[in-house]
Structures are given as structure tokens and as C-alpha cells.
Amino acid sequence: MDAEFVPLLYNTFWALIPPLVAILLALITKEVYSSLFVGIAVGGVLYTISGTAPFVHPVQALEHIFQKGIIASLSDAYNVGILVFLVFLGILVALMNKAGGSAAFGKWASSHVHSRVGAQIATICLGVLIFIDDYFNCLTVGSVMRPVTDRQKISRAKLAYLIDATAAPVCIIAPISSWAAAVSGFAPKGTNGLMLFLQAIPYNYYAILTILMMVLCAVFKLEYGPMARHELNAKNGDIFTVAPVVAEKEEDVNNKGKVIDLVLPVAVLIFCCVIGMIYTGGFFGESTEGFFSRFVNAFANSDASVGLAYGAFGGIVFTVIYYLIRRVLNFRDCMTCVEDGFKAMVPPIAILTLAWSLKAMTDSLGAAEFVAGIVDASRDSFMYFLPAVVFLIACGLSFATGTSWGTFGILIPITLKVFPLETGNPLAVICVSACMAGAVCGDHCSPISDTTIMSSAGAQCNHIAHVSTQLPYALTAAAVSLVTFLIAGFVQNAVICLLIGIGLMVGTVFILRKLIPTPDSASLQKESQEAGKG
């Protein structure tokens, strides 16, 4: 295909068809690999459709799928950095498991966490504390909390939800995170991107209300939708309900392992990742700025994929040396974990590669331009409704493409053209927040989202099971957020609107609790028994 070639269907609704096909197939077939590839293939075919015979060019479609899709995704430096980071984290988790650190932590936690509610709250707290990056959050929280939630008979689907809901939603309201850096980078030149991010935090209703909803559901034992079935099965001893793609290996527990053998490597990993990220942002270069300003700017300018890869490698080197000194593992055992860790990450790497390729197909069909036209057309007619409109568009775009950051890149510049910051119109910040909130919401719901994939990997949960059980919770938070954005378009006061949103979420949870039986209720158990007989 010529470099100047413009598809006949460019900048039309057809640009969103490939991801919608992939998502629909994944939900119907419960099989993610073939669904993603079919979506990629549909994108390749739509790209080559022309108005003259032959209407479809199969050879060019195949070239587009591989050259501009799969191969281009795997040759992208940022994507490769993320894959390297995943492999390093897999190796580190394998080391901690083999050394007995994870088992020791599970035993220690079981003596301190005595209830299912306590285990869920502990998982949420750990997820909130690890706010640097969503990938890092997903795999670290999963590896640390699996032994704890397993002992309390919490389903892997519920663990995956807790991980996913404390990954992107926490990162998007944390000023020092890779997400803050990404949003700052999408701000127009001459705009203080970090200040814009800080101003948007109080209006980021989906992130704030999702965290609140998790806590309320844990405390009041509210489970609904497919999650209720998973939780009931977990109480009866089946924490999976649907088996994961790669079964967990039964390993001999190293009796020499102690809690410190998990806590210290994780702490060093966090430290190394922070150092790696600020290093890529130029923190250690010459500067006349103060320490805090230099630190913040380094995060804003960091290359997350490279910085996290540096940090994970540093964590592995420390952990191997530490375990050799402690004599909990010998050198041969450590090297065995390299292969084991890589194998454990093969499924998420495969899904990520296909998801990135699908995004490339969507981009080549002009999805960004199509969405930009919709936002621009609604500017004058729906001025005060625009925060809610932008939220819905961001949800749809992020859900279809499986990327929050891509959605930021498309919508934030468009929003700031509609409402320039120089005018002082408060709708500018509110609509930027709506972009961010909607992007996280769509990313949270989408089965082709990298964060959703990582959450399944972190919990070692079947991916489609995670998507189907999480969806009702995400949609509940989205509905409350939408109403709050509608109010914010008229009220335009951060404190008042946030309090209204919190009140709506608390009220929603209490209404659901009254209407829906808990997983240990007699009615749901009877229904489960009847379903089993059928």
C-alpha cells in the first residue's frame, strides 16, 4: 500500500467495527485469542475496501495486518519495554514463590487477617499504596495478595476486580505516577500539564467513586451479577469457577522462606522502579531547579516502559543476591525461575500483542478523527451537557480500542480547543476530567484493555471470567459518574459535585444491598443447587 493511501472508510463509524467485533466475539465464545485476531483481520479487510473492483484486496489486507499491525506493535520501542517489564516481573514473582516468601506471607497474613472483608480491604489498601504505575500495580498486588485471598476463600474473579479497580483508577488521581506523566504530556504547549492534572482530580468521579464502591461492597458484603456465583463457589472451595488459561503449578514450599523474603524484594522493586522512572525523565542531569520540582518534572518527562524495565531488572539482581546470601535458594534454582517467570507471562504477552495490533487497525481507519468530529459538532448544542457527552465518548472510545492513554491523546487536545484554558471557563477542567474518567471507565470494562489483561494475569484468573464478573460493578460506577458529570456541567463546583457523587454512590450501594441477596444467602444457594442439578 502507498504511504499516501487513504481508506475509503477512513473517519467513519466503520473505524470502530474491528474492536467491537473482537469484543463481541470474546464475550460470546469466551475465547480471547481468536476473537482478537478476527477483529484484526476485519480491520485489515476494511482498510483495503475501495470503490472500484476488486473491492477488497486480500494480499494488501494481509500485508497491512502483519506489517502495520502485529510486526509494528512488536517493534515499537515502548511496547517492547512493557513486554520486558512483564517478563522481569514474572521472573521476580517466580523467585519469591520458589524461595517461600509468598507462602510465608500468606501464613503471616492469615494470622492477622481473619475475615473475607479484612482480606479485601487489605488488597484495596495495597493497591492504593502502589500508585506509581498500573502494570506494576496489577502484578505486584496479585502476587502478594493471592495467598491471603485464597486462604479466606475469595474468588480469583473478585481478586482480579479488586486489582483492576485499584490500578488505573488510583493512578489517574495520583500526581506522581506514569499516568500523571502521560496526561501532562498530552496538554498543549505552553500549558502546565501537571497543574491541569491536579485541577482535574476532584472532578474525576469515576476513579474516586470506583474506589469508594469497592470499599462499600467489601464492608457490606454486596455481590451481584456473575460475581455472586463466583463468590458462592469460592466459599464452597472452588476459587476459580472457570479454570485459568495456564494452571498454577504445585510446588514444594520452601520452609526456609520468611515474610521478609517477599516484603524486602517488593520494597526494593518499588524503590528501583521510582529511580528508573525519574532517571529516564532526566532527574540526575544538570539542573538549577529545587529537588521537589526536579522530581516532579522528571516523573512528567519519564519513559514509563524503560524506567519500569530498569527498575524490575534492579529488583531481580537484588533479589537473587539476597536469596543467595540468605541461602534460601541456590544459583541453579534462581536461574530456573527465569524460565518459569517467562512461561507465566506468555498468555498476557500474547493477548497484549494482539490488543496492540487491533488498536493499530483502528488507528489506520481514522477512529480518532471520527470521534473528534462528534465532539466538535456537539460543542454549541450541548454546552452544559458536554462533560457528560465527553465522558460517554471517552468510555466508548476506550472500550473499543482498549487504551486509556490513546483516548487521552485524542480527546484532551480536542477538549482544550473547544474550551481554551486561557478563557478561565471551568468547563475546560471539568471536560478534561471527563476525558480521563471516561477513558479509565472504558479501559476498565474492555476485554482487550492491557490493564484488564494484566489484572487477570496478576490474579491468575480466567480472562473472560474477569471481564464478565467485573462489568456490572464498572457499569454501576459509570452510571453514578455520568449523573454526577451531568450535575457538574451546570453546578461547576468541585466540592459540591463530589459530595453529591459520593452521596449517590452510597445510596446506590444501599439500594442494591436491599434488592440483591448476598452470596451466602439461602435463596442464592438454593438457586446455585438447582443450576447444578440442571
pLDDT in tens, 42-57: 999 999 887 666 777 7
Output 529 or 229, whichever has higher pLDDT: 229
Between CA 146 and CA 143 the distance in angstroms is 6
Q: Give the DSSP H or E segment for 417.
A: helix 404-418
pLDDT band at residue 492 using 50, 70 and 90 as cut-offs: very high
- C-alpha angle with apex 166: 318 to 105, nearest 5 degrees? 45
Residue 110: pLDDT above 50?
yes
Average pLDDT, the chain: 85
What is the C-alpha separation between 470 and 459, in angstroms, rounded? 13
Check whether 1 has a pLDDT greater than 50.
no
Contact 185, 193 (CB under 8 A): yes
C-alpha torsion sign, points 208, 209, 212, 218? negative
Which pLDDT value is given to residue 522? 45
The pLDDT tens digits for 323-371 are 999 999 999 999 999 998 888 778 778 877 888 888 888 888 988 778 7
Mean pLDDT calculated for residue range 449-456: 88
pLDDT in tens, 162-213: 999 999 999 899 876 667 766 766 676 666 676 788 889 999 999 999 999 9
Which of the residue ranges 3-12, 176-185, 228-237, 279-288 would you say has the lowest mean pLDDT? 176-185
pLDDT of residue 526: 54
pLDDT at 471 over 70: yes
Query: How much of the chain exceeds pLDDT 70, in percent?
Result: 90
In Å, what is the CA distance from 229 to each residue of 2, 106, 128, 160, 527?
Answer: 53, 25, 27, 15, 10
* Structure confidence at residue 217 (pLDDT): 96
What pTM, to 2 d.p., does this model score?
Answer: 0.77
d(CA 73, CA 55): 27
- DSSP assignment string, 511-523: HHHHHS--TTSHH
Whole-number pLDDT of residue 520: 57
CA distance 310 to 274: 10
Task: List Cβ neighbours of 122 (8 Å cut-off, separation of 6 or more).
Answer: 109, 113, 145, 148
Confidence of residue 518 (pLDDT cuts 50, 70, 90): low
256 phi and psi, to 5 degrees?
-80, -15
pLDDT reported for residue 525: 55
Question: 18-47 burial, b for 16+ CB within 10 Å, e for fewer?
Answer: bbbbbbebbeeeeebeebbbbbbbbbbbbb
Cβ neighbour number for residue 376 with a 10 Å cutoff: 12
Name the one residue in this structure whose C-alpha cell is 516468601: 101
| Maximum mean pLDDT: which of 45-54, 246-255, 478-487 | 478-487
Instruction: Classify residue 385 by its DSSP letter.
Output: T
**pLDDT band with cut points at 50, 70 and 90 for residue 103:** confident
Report whether 166 contacts 211 (CB < 8 A).
Answer: yes
DSSP assignment string, 45-107:
HHHH--SSSSS--HHHHHHIIIIIIIHHHHH-HHHHHHHHHHHHHHHHHHHHHHHTHHHHHHH
pLDDT at 531 over 60: no
74/229 Cα distance (integer angstroms): 38
Helix (H) or strand (E) holding 162: helix 156-165
In degrees rounded to 5, what are phi and psi of residue 331? -60, -40
Q: Which three cell numbers stand for residue 34?
A: 481468536
Inform me whether the pLDDT recorded for 136 exceeds 60: yes
How many residues appear in the chain? Answer: 534
* Per-residue pLDDT at 212: 97
The x, y and z cell numbers of residue 529, run together, are 443447587
Q: Are 201 and 177 in contact (CB under 8 A)?
A: no
Whether residue 378 has pLDDT greater than 70: no
Closest of 377, 22, 180, 215 to residue 386, by C-alpha: 377
Question: How far is 235 from 417, CA to CA, in rounded Å?
Answer: 53
Percent of the chain with pLDDT over 90: 38
Give the pLDDT of residue 507. Answer: 97
Structural domain spans, the chain: 77-182+251-345
* 505 pLDDT higher than 50: yes
All three cell numbers of 389: 457527552
On the CB side of 362, CA atoms within 13 Å amount to 31
Once rounded to an integer, what is the mean pLDDT over residues 380-400?
86
141 in Cβ contact with 166 (< 8 Å): yes
